Chain A
Amino acid sequence: MDYIDYYKILGINKDASQKEIRIAYRKLARKYHPDLNPNDKEAERKFKEVNEANEVLSHPENKKKYDQYGKDWKHAEHFEKTRQQQRQQRQRQSFHDTGEPFGESDFSDFFESMFGGARQGRQQVRFRGQDLRAELHLNLQDVYTTHKRTLTVNNKNIRITIQAGVVHGQEIKIKGHGGSGINGGPHGDLYIKFIIENHTSFKRHNNDLHTTVNLDLYIAVLGGETTIDTLDGKVKIKVKPETQNNTKVKLKGKGFPVYKKEGEFGDLYITYLIKLPTNLSNKEKELFLELSKLR
């Protein structure tokens, strides 16, 4: 466990007054607050550091202990053990527990080792629980249809509906399923980010799908029908005569479902890749030669 220099984190000197600590904290909190830095994990990490530094330095008793034992936290643990023993003795004598419960925290091991579960001198302020973030990995095929799924978060089962058409990186909020509030504050929210892995032959761009289809030379030249795979099953399509290599055709409404718009779909774009025959027989060679003489 590394020593954490809370003064350095807040950019202040050891002799900083409570007012200076408060100003430094507010300034950094405004810089790194998650509401002001959407989707920025680094800012979130720094915000937690700044909060922890403020938690220690803005409470005189915590600050005193940190100043006294900070660089040698093992002694602080010893100090803490002795203090706890003394407190337990007092409790046995008075049959009175004055300790405050400490809710879920988001503090470093260093903080926990020094200040344990009891935040000294803390006011009974209600704090909203921490927002939790989770990632849910799904296959592209999974999000082609609306379906329900049960997730286990913090040992609790949550059943959510995954709407067809969710996009990679999209986040949904499940209100009240985050961390517990402190001192009776409301629960935080749970944010689920969808990570969509694509193991299909389709490439997705917004609601459209793109794919490449091999086309037989004779169908390309003479026209005809070919059967292609879509995410919704097989589809038979007509191919125009004299279709060129890399021709792109659009199948309207055969793309990906539009999020939260039931019955609406993007388009499917097919690029034809014309396959030339190989291992020609003598007869075929003769016929190709004959054809070439006609041009």
Chain B
Amino acid sequence: MTEQNIISISTFCSKYEVPESFIHSLRKYQLLEVIEREGEAFIRVSHLQWVEKMMRLHYELDINMEGLDAISNLLQQIWKLQQENQDLKEKLTLYE
């Protein structure tokens, strides 16, 4: 993993103006993977979009961590169903 692929939690939090405790809570609820390296904590750049989404839900809609956990599971199901739906539509065109 290269340095470009990860961002330190302290840098992220100062840029987005969120407390570091928010990221640690996401980790506690297994909603985000945190990488430890030489005593510092990092998150993957590829996960930023997901963290931004969790931030919006938490800070704009007042959804607590338990709610984010439930939403996360439901969103996974929605995406899976949408993907299945798309696959089936494509399959159907083969017979049309």
Contact = CB atoms under 8 A, between A and B. Distances in A.
A214 interface: no
- Chain A contact patch, size range: 10 to 19
Contacts of B49: 173
Main secondary structure of the interface of A (DSSP, over half): mixed
Contacts of B53: 35
Given A26-B61, A30-B61, A173-B49, A36 B71 contact: yes
Interface residues of B, number: 19
Interface in A1-57: 26, 29-30, 33, 35-36, 38-39
Contacts of A204: 90
Interface string A170-186: 00010000000000000
Given A38-B78, A203-B93, A33 B57 contact: yes
Interface of A: 26, 29-30, 33, 35-36, 38-39, 168-169, 173, 203-206, 210
* Nearest 3 CB-CB pairings of A with B: A35-B53, A30-B61, A203-B94
Interface of B: 49, 53, 56-57, 60-63, 71, 75, 78-79, 82, 86-87, 90-91, 93-94
Given A30-B63, A35-B56, A203-B93, 6 more contacts: A29-B61, A33-B60, A38-B79, A38-B82, A173-B49, A206-B87
